Amino acid sequence: MKRSRTFSALVAFVSLFLIFFYSTLHPETTYSLRAGPANLLKHSTLQVHIRDGKSQASKQESVIILPPAVHNVSVSDGLRHTIPQNGAYWNRLLYLAFKNLDREENPFGHNSDWSLCRQTKQEHLQTNMHDFTSYPFLFQDFLQGMNCSSPPVLLNQPNKCPFGDGKNNNNNQTFLLFTIKSTPRNFEQRQAVRETWGREGMYKSGLRVRTVFLLGSSPLEDPDLSALLAFEARQFGDLLQWDFHESLLNLTLKMYMFIQWTVKYCPEASFVFSGDDDVFVNTPKLLSYLQSLEPSKASRLYAGQVISEATPLRDPKNKYYIPLSFYDGPYPPYAGGGGFIISGALMQGLYSASSVIPFFPMDDVYAGMCFKALGVSPETHQDFKTFDIKDQDRENLCVIKNLILIHRRSPHQIKKLWKGIHNPLLTC
Ligand SMILES: *[C@@H]1O[C@H](CO)[C@@H](O)[C@H](O)[C@H]1NC(C)=O
Ligand SMILES: *[C@@H]1O[C@H](CO)[C@@H](O)[C@H](O)[C@H]1NC(C)=O
Ligand SMILES: *[C@@H]1O[C@H](CO)[C@@H](O)[C@H](O)[C@H]1NC(C)=O
């Protein structure tokens, strides 16, 4: 009698344990079911293969091999060393993606069906992040849409970069593509950029510069600017817009879209700039820097102002708040999102890395993670100032003439600085 009671207590205990165990492992059990078909570009032949090592140790170093034309991309080693495996939700999602890669299963968490990707149940998120309900509202919202990666295209420029049957006249090939994060209402900023540092055309030594602005959609409460934007897009041919709401936490999605767009529509660009519409760029200086690079450097460049030892901010009131139960670990070194430069040759690898690594709510940190996965370290360039420069230098043209990028300028200041650094009478 006594024995059978002990036995049923044991059974009850074991089942409780199993229930608990499965509920904590929930993402794992649903992962492979949920992983939809990879959201691949039709024309690109991106595929994921696994090269299995013989021993346990080399298994750690599974490699994503892209088709012959593209160099091999190892997605896991560097990132595995940087990001700890622990109980935080994002960390678990990442290791789940690694595991699926190792097992040759579909590692892609991104959901290609935009209308279904937000159907995650609240309970799922609550089970996985015990304090989910105390997360700031926008953060909860980010989590619900975390797998959404294929917003409808509202404005496109498929012919932006004329490419590439190889017979293309060299001077049509894009040397530098500016991709500039903007928002629907920032018309004045875009115009200032078009008239100054983002001007498209041929620069010294026949270097071709092209520009696109990246837009999401306005919040519903805002006035409808779509007719104006359609006009602007026709007039200037430089707007890309997707149907997701503009917000800080959607910037990673915007980045994913621009990577995808570049791989598809501007694959021959030698360099790609990613940055904000309120920075000032000294384009001639940037071009001569890029032109001076050794070929080995030029094909693996990720440069800007590097933030090398950052960790998540845990104050819920901070704009960049990251809850501990969501992410636990340091950030890999990354280039400040105000403006950085990438080799065009890395875009395809970046695209495959960003198709595997779950979206992280800070776009520049996310870029750092993807580059880490590619084994590319960000390089500090002293002349990128994504944080502000000394007050007394803010208007000093002699200082600014020697910088490549300065953070945060109004459209008016951008025009003034551009004119200033081009003034032949400027003596420094
Ligand atoms: C996102 O996808 C992963 C992997 O498929 C899954 O485990 C997770 O529950 C999904 N998250 C949301 C919020 O839908
Ligand atoms: C160069 O690009 C323009 C469009 O920007 C196109 O009209 C022209 O035919 C192209 N020239 C060559 C040689 O490809
Ligand atoms: C991101 O965009 C989606 C789609 O428009 C929207 O539902 C969501 O609220 C946005 N996310 C945030 C955090 O604003």
pLDDT tens readout for residues 71-126:
334 576 889 999 999 999 999 999 998 888 877 777 667 877 898 888 777 889 99
For helices 347-356 and 251-265, angle between their N-to-C axes, nearest 10 degrees: 140
Q: Confirm whether 94 is domain-assigned.
A: yes
pLDDT for position 392: 82
Cβ–Cβ < 8 Å for 229, 241: yes
Ligand 2 interacting residues, C-beta cut-off 6 A = 162, 168-169, 172
Residue 66 has pLDDT above 70, yes or no: no
How far apart are the CA of 40 and the centre of ligand 3, in A? 22
Best probe residue, ligand 1, of 29, 30, 94, 117 (max atoms within 8 Å of C-beta): 30
Measured by CA distance, the residue closest to atom 13 of ligand 1 is: 144
Is the C-beta atom of 247 inside 6 A of ligand 3?
Answer: yes
Measured by CA distance, the residue closest to atom 9 of ligand 2 is: 162
Q: Confirm whether 26 is domain-assigned.
A: no
Mean of pLDDT values over 398-426: 93
Q: Confirm whether 424 is domain-assigned.
A: no
Higher pLDDT, 359 or 99: 359
Q: Confirm whether 191 is domain-assigned.
A: yes
Q: Count Cβ atoms below 10 Å from residue 353 Cβ, excluding itself.
A: 26
Q: Count Cβ atoms below 10 Å from residue 221 Cβ, excluding itself.
A: 5
Q: Count Cβ atoms below 10 Å from residue 288 Cβ, excluding itself.
A: 15
Tens of pLDDT along 200-215? 999 988 899 999 999 9
* Nearest atom, ligand 1, residue 33 CA: 5
The closest of 387, 382, 383, 327 to 357, measured between CA atoms, is 327
Tens of pLDDT along 193-248? 999 999 999 998 889 999 999 999 998 899 999 999 999 999 999 999 999 999 99
Tens of pLDDT along 309-340? 999 999 999 999 999 999 999 999 999 999 99
Is the C-beta atom of 138 inside 6 A of ligand 3?
Answer: yes
Measured by CA distance, the residue closest to atom 8 of ligand 1 is: 27
pLDDT for position 422: 93
Ligand nearest the Cα atom of residue 250: 3
Residue 16 has pLDDT above 70, yes or no: no
The closest of 271, 275, 284, 273 to 196, measured between CA atoms, is 284
Q: Confirm whether 398 is domain-assigned.
A: no
Largest CA distance in the chain: 102
pLDDT for position 99: 87
Domain count for the chain: 1
Distance between CA atoms of 284 and 401, rounded to whole angstroms?
10
pLDDT for position 394: 82
Distance between CA atoms of 240 and 160, rounded to whole angstroms?
11
Q: Confirm whether 402 is domain-assigned.
A: no
Q: Confirm whether 394 is domain-assigned.
A: no
Q: Confirm whether 350 is domain-assigned.
A: yes
Hunting for tokens 């708040």 — which residue is that? 321
Measured by CA distance, the residue closest to atom 6 of ligand 2 is: 162
Residue 69 has pLDDT above 50, yes or no: no
Is the C-beta atom of 34 inside 6 A of ligand 1?
Answer: yes
Is the C-beta atom of 361 inside 6 A of ligand 3?
Answer: no
Ligand nearest the Cα atom of residue 361: 3
Residue 171 has pLDDT above 80, yes or no: no
Return all residues near 63 (Cβ < 8 A) that are at least 6 apart: 50, 51, 72, 73, 74, 75
Domain containing 48 equals: 40-379
